[in-house]
Amino acid sequence: MLSIPQAALAAALAAALAALPAGDALAQAKKGKIVCWKDKSGKVVGCGDTVPPEYQDAATKELDRRGVTRGTTVSAEEQAKVKAQEAEAAKKKEEEKRRLAERRRQDQALLNTFSNAKEIDLKRDRELQVLDTQMSQLRVQHKAAMDRENDVKGRMETASKSGKPPTDGQKEDLARAEADRKKAEANIAAKEKEQADIRKRYADMKQRYIELRGGGSPTPASTAAVPAKK
């Protein structure tokens, strides 16, 4: 007994053959196949010897004269979706391939640059020392800006106690001092971040170097960061 879907398809097949001219129906029956086409929801909406132009991009199902499926095609929309998925998968595969190649290049460069893990610490310390010098200069600038700002504020407060309003010159001096102080603070914060980034970068570099050399995890003492000079 035919299942409900099979019965429906068989009925559609019979109706399609009946709708054809006698000669065409006979030829189609001899071929033993007919094509049914679907709408976007996947529902069979018609059967015949050829797919109508408006359904050329739809999914189709080829049946024999008993209503048994002999072949199927997917819709153009589904084909496009599959191609997009395949393209995305290929793109990710290529990106992963490039990432691994870059990692191998970096690993080889790391091994070629350093003879042992201690050299990594020494290079880190040299870079931190340069930043320490820059930080010292920035702190001097910050203190000078604060001293000027406090001096201007003191003079303005003294004048205010005498009932005198601040002069335009005092206001300008205060604005410049405040701007210089804020600029110095921003520069100091940027250098502090740079110091933290260097410590992390060299810690990661050292860890990777030890792994490539086949060693175990470094001891806490060997990876301790050099404290910044105040």
Residues 80-119: pLDDT tens digits?
Answer: 777 888 889 999 999 999 999 999 999 999 999 999 999 9
Q: What is the residue extent of each domain of the chain?
A: 4-76, 106-223
> Residue 62 pairs with which residues in a beta bridge?
35, 71
- AA identity, residue 7: A
Asked which of 83-92, 134-143, 195-204 is least confident by mean pLDDT, the reply is 83-92
Bridge pairing between strands 60-64 and 33-38: antiparallel
Cβ atoms of 6 and 67 within 8 Å: the answer is: yes
Asked which of 15-19, 46-50, 151-155, 160-164 is least confident by mean pLDDT, the reply is 15-19
Q: How confident is the model at residue 41 (pLDDT cuts 50, 70, 90)?
A: confident
Q: Residue 6 CB: number of other CB atoms within 10 A?
A: 15
- AA identity, residue 153: K
The secondary structure of residue 226, as a DSSP letter, is: P
What would the mean pLDDT of 52-62 be, rounded to a whole number?
69
Bridge pairing between strands 60-64 and 44-48: unpaired
What percent of the chain is modeled with pLDDT above 70? Answer: 67
Q: Identify the pLDDT of residue 66.
A: 55
Q: Identify the pLDDT of residue 10.
A: 52
Q: Residue 138 CB: number of other CB atoms within 10 A?
A: 20
Q: How confident is the model at residue 203 (pLDDT cuts 50, 70, 90)?
A: very high
Cβ atoms of 181 and 149 within 8 Å: the answer is: yes
Q: How confident is the model at residue 76 (pLDDT cuts 50, 70, 90)?
A: low
- The 3-class SS string of 6-73 reads HHHHHHHHHHHHHHCCHHHHHHHHHHCEEEEEECCCCCEEEEECCCCHHHCCCCEEEEECCCCEEEEE
| CB contact set of 44 (below 8 Å; sequence gap of 6+) | 8, 9, 12, 36, 37, 38, 61
Cβ atoms of 213 and 114 within 8 Å: the answer is: no
Residue identified by tokens 């001891």 is 219
